[in-house]
Amino acid sequence: MVDRVLFVCHANLCRSPMAEYLARRLLAGQPVLVSSAGTDAVDDLPMHPYAAEVAAEAGGEPAEFRSRRLRGELLVGATLVLTATRRQRSVCTALAPAALHRTFTLRQFGRLAEAADAATDAADDAAAGPVDGPLRAAVRAAARARGWLQPATPDADDLVDPIGGTAADFRRCAEEIERSLRPLAALIGTAG
């Protein structure tokens, strides 16, 4: 079974496509499929031109990308759901309540993954039974950290939408996405 990471934003034109392409680069070599969707997306649109620049710099082919609206089966099939905002996280968990424990905002998960001790969690998982894979172990480690890490201020969880901004605004957003993804990549590497 292949593990899946699903990135969710509003229109699936800016933040979630950039996260998808950046994650593909950062998680290259891991047994993980990465995709994206939007809570209010219109299907089959190309990504925003500035987001496409970021995707191309990440080594992707942005011309192949097409937006898609978030559906329940996407959430049910995802091992990890990372949203751009708390509102989108709420939409995801309302659409698929079973995804609650594996749905986080991207910035929230970055903090949790950074705080998680994958080595200790891997030992706990081994004692409890077989581990399904490094992404699932990373999600469990971050979920455990959620229980003891001091909550951040609400605005610390939301990733600002660069739509309507400049190319520099999109690059700043991409940098924040990458900062939030690095701890996930490190945690998967430790858990694997």
| CA–CA separation, 126 and 8 (whole Å) | 31
Confidence (pTM) = 0.92
What pLDDT sits at residue 129? 47
Task: Read off the pLDDT of residues 7-18 as tens digits, 9 standing for 90 and up.
Answer: 999 999 999 999
- Contact predicate 186/26, CB 8 Å: no
What integer is the mean pLDDT of 41-48? 98
Distance, in Å, from the CA atom of 90 to the CA atom of 100, rounded to the nearest integer, reads 9
For residue 47, pLDDT over 50 is answered with yes
User: Which pair of tokens denotes residue 140?
Assistant: 């469990």
Q: Is the pLDDT of residue 50 over 80?
A: yes
Residue 155 has what pLDDT? 83
Answer yes or no: are the C-beta atoms of 107 and 30 closer than 8 Å.
no
| pLDDT, tens only, 68-104 | 999 999 999 999 999 999 999 999 999 999 999 999 9
**Rounded Cα distance, 176 and 156, in Å:** 11
Q: Cα separation of 156 and 105, whole Å?
A: 10
Q: Is the pLDDT assigned to residue 36 strictly greater than 60?
A: yes
| 101-146 tens-digit pLDDT | 999 999 999 999 999 865 454 445 444 444 578 999 999 999 888 8
